[in-house]
Amino acid sequence: MEDLHELLRRQSGVVSRAQALECGCPPHDIRRRLRRREWAIVHAGVYVDHTGPLTWLQRAWAAVLLASPAALCHSSTLRRTDGPGPREHDDRGPIHVAIDRNRSVRAPAGVIVHQLSSLETKALWNTSPPRLRIEEAALDLAAEATNDFEAIAVLADAVQSRRTTAARLLHALDERTRIRRRRFLRAVLSDVNEGACSALEHAYLARVERPHGLPAAGRQVVASSRGPVYRDVVYHRQSLVVELDGRVFHDHQRARDADLERDLDAAVDRLTTVRIGWGQAVGRPCSTARKIGLILRQLGWSGPVKACPDC
């Protein structure tokens, strides 16, 4: 039974009936473990070695084993690749698994099954549990997003978290023969590849800076008078820093203290700092462009602010 114990350890205490039989656990032993409540049924033919609540990872293993051969996909792939610490994913949500397009699996409550072509090449079968490549999962989520900014956030977050790169996402996109928002996703990834590392940074670039003819700025610039720090947008010739704050609430003391420290460092470096949020970049991009242009002109820029189609 050592093989079964090792399998349970590797799969977070979850095992399928087929796996148990292959490990030498006869049917009557499976029934005995269930009767004694040593194991509990998660799905038909899938068990866990305790009777308490399941962790997210155990739910993921159970879904993959139920639909086997299958791999985590969509948001479940991103959830699995998260490191320790706070997570934005809702662990109570359904587990997404991918199966080959030619198969069908009846999904129980809490599991969503997706049929994909070329699953063999899109999945990482040696991971625990198997999952789609991060690039494939991110593209699927971005293509199915309810709006463009949600799509931008998915791609930008995948790159900003260092789980992948814009170049890898672009390569994966090129391999797709059919995908929604192809032209839009390519444009977003090209901007992310140039340094627009968040949804708000992309909004500032695409709605404020570029359509109004503002000078091209540096993005995610590493510089500080007291140690390395990333500045969102820097107009080097005019010594202007634009910090982009995408948080909904900005009154947390630590966050405010960090912002004040960054602004103070910028002043030490003889940089002018302005802060922009969603309201300025998305709600009032034309007005924001005119104001940024005015500041740039005061700091020596000689170019005009152009009118965009929405002005």
Query: Taking residues 243-269, what's their average pLDDT?
Result: 64
Is there a single domain that holds both residue 251 and residue 287?
Answer: yes
Number of domains in the chain: 3
Cα 308 to Cα 183: distance, rounded to the nearest angstrom: 21
Is there a single domain that holds both residue 12 and residue 43?
Answer: yes
Q: Is 104 a member of any domain?
A: yes
Is there a single domain that holds both residue 125 and residue 214?
Answer: no
Residue scoring higher pLDDT (122 or 178): 122
pLDDT band at 152 (very low <50, low <70, confident <90, very high): confident
Q: Is 305 a member of any domain?
A: no
- pLDDT, tens digit (0-9, with 9 covering 90-100), for 27-70: 999 999 999 999 999 999 999 999 999 999 999 999 999 999 99
Q: Is 304 a member of any domain?
A: no
Is there a single domain that holds both residue 106 and residue 212?
Answer: no
Q: CATH no. for residue 231?
A: 3.40.960.10
Is there a single domain that holds both residue 147 and residue 164?
Answer: yes
Query: Taking residues 106-111, what's their average pLDDT?
Result: 94
Is there a single domain that holds both residue 111 and residue 8?
Answer: yes
pLDDT band at 87 (very low <50, low <70, confident <90, very high): low
Cα 134 to Cα 154: distance, rounded to the nearest angstrom: 11
Q: Is 65 a member of any domain?
A: yes
Question: According to the model, what pLDDT value does residue 249 have?
Answer: 37
For the cut 90, the answer to whether the pLDDT of residue 212 exceeds it is yes
| CA–CA distances in Å: residue 217 to residues 32, 206, 304 | 68, 13, 16
Where in the sequence is the domain holding 160, given as residue range(s)?
A: 139-193
Q: What is the pTM of this model?
A: 0.70
Query: Taking residues 177-185, what's their average pLDDT?
Result: 87
Query: Taking residues 136-147, what's their average pLDDT?
Result: 92
For the cut 50, the answer to whether the pLDDT of residue 241 exceeds it is yes
Q: Is 215 a member of any domain?
A: yes
Is there a single domain that holds both residue 59 and residue 124?
Answer: yes
- Residue partners of 251: CB distance under 8 A and separation at least 6: none
Q: Is 102 a member of any domain?
A: yes
- pLDDT, tens digit (0-9, with 9 covering 90-100), for 4-34: 999 999 999 999 999 999 999 999 999 999 9
Is there a single domain that holds both residue 95 and residue 169?
Answer: no
- Residue partners of 12: CB distance under 8 A and separation at least 6: 55, 57, 58, 61
Least confident segment among 44-53, 149-158, 248-257, 273-282: 248-257
Is there a single domain that holds both residue 128 and residue 7?
Answer: yes
pLDDT band at 199 (very low <50, low <70, confident <90, very high): confident
Cα 211 to Cα 250: distance, rounded to the nearest angstrom: 28
Least confident segment among 180-184, 207-211, 285-289: 180-184
Question: According to the model, what pLDDT value does residue 85 have?
Answer: 45
Q: Is 311 a member of any domain?
A: no
Highest mean pLDDT among 26-30, 175-179, 232-236, 278-282: 26-30
Q: Is 310 a member of any domain?
A: no
Question: What is the SS3 assignment for 6?
Answer: helix
Least confident segment among 34-43, 156-165, 213-222, 255-264: 255-264
For the cut 50, the answer to whether the pLDDT of residue 203 exceeds it is yes
Question: According to the model, what pLDDT value does residue 247 have?
Answer: 54
Question: Of 108, 132, 156, which one is at a domain's C-terminal end?
Answer: 132
Query: Taking residues 192-206, what's their average pLDDT?
Result: 79
Question: Of 193, 217, 239, which one is at a domain's C-terminal end?
Answer: 193
Is there a single domain that holds both residue 109 and residue 36?
Answer: yes
Q: Strand 218-222's sheet: what is its strand order? A: 218-222, 230-235, 240-244, 272-276
Is there a single domain that holds both residue 45 and residue 106?
Answer: yes
For the cut 70, the answer to whether the pLDDT of residue 2 exceeds it is no
- Residue partners of 305: CB distance under 8 A and separation at least 6: 212, 213, 214, 289, 290, 293, 294
Is there a single domain that holds both residue 30 and residue 107?
Answer: yes
Question: Of 132, 150, 168, which one is at a domain's C-terminal end?
Answer: 132
| CA–CA distances in Å: residue 209 to residues 231, 263, 290, 305 | 16, 21, 10, 9
